[in-house]
A = this chain, B = another copy of it.
Amino acid sequence: MEHTLPHTISLLSRTPAALDALLRDLPEAWTLRNEGENSWSAFDVVGHLIHGERTDWIPRARIILQFGETKAFEPFDRWAQERESQGKSLGQLLDEFARLRSENLGELHALNLRQEDLDRRGRHPALGPVTLSQLLATWAAHDLTHIHQISRIMAHQYREAVGPWNAYLGVLQCAGHSAP
């Protein structure tokens, strides 16, 4: 389907509660383990989502609206959560993600975007020209890629416990398709 702002917002507004319901107070054996060297735990992923709320989606939308293609976005730091999540609990991160997402959806609403705004182009430092519509669709799809990742990271912890059923569980065959 084409990008529609109400569909994007409906998904963006649900992700914090979905992750909260899945992860809060879950044993750390599920949430702090990763898939091996240079990979992320569910805890790391929530930290990454927080960093996106702070530095990626709304800041980039503002750059597109203000500068168009004349100013490239700041590159996104994919390992920022290593610093920023230090000393925090997963519960604190889930709270922080929910608060920031809510604030950012308020900012998005206040932008009062019209179709001609959604068609405006900005410049991604690696991908080149992108539209505001594509940025906002990616915000939603980025949530989904990390729900996808979290379910895979957690399933990985049971890859041996399931015994011969591993052949039937698609999530255990998933290599992730992107780093990390």
Residue numbers of A with Cβ under 8 A of B are: 1-4, 6-7, 10-11, 14-15, 17-23, 26-27, 29-30, 33, 124, 127-128, 130-131, 133-135, 137-138, 140-142, 144-145, 147-149, 151-152, 154-155, 157-158, 160-165, 167-174, 176-178
Closest CB in chain B relative to A94 CB, distance in Å: 12
Could you list 28 examples of A-B contacts with CB < 8 Å? A2-B160, A10-B26, A10-B27, A11-B30, A11-B154, A14-B26, A15-B22, A18-B19, A124-B165, A127-B165, A128-B164, A130-B163, A134-B161, A134-B164, A134-B165, A135-B165, A138-B165, A141-B158, A141-B162, A141-B169, A141-B172, A144-B158, A145-B172, A147-B151, A149-B171, A151-B151, A173-B177, A174-B177
Q: Are A151 and B154 in contact (CB under 8 A)?
A: no
- The distance in angstroms between the C-alpha atoms of A148 and B155, with both chains bound, is 10
B170 touches A177 (CB 8 A): yes
Known: A11-B26, A137-B161. 9 other contacts (CB 8 A): A3-B158, A6-B27, A14-B22, A18-B21, A21-B21, A131-B163, A141-B169, A144-B158, A148-B152
A179 CB → nearest B CB, Å? 8
Copies in the complex: 2
Contacts of A27 in B (CB 8 A): 6-7, 10
CA distance A162 to B29 in the complex (A): 34
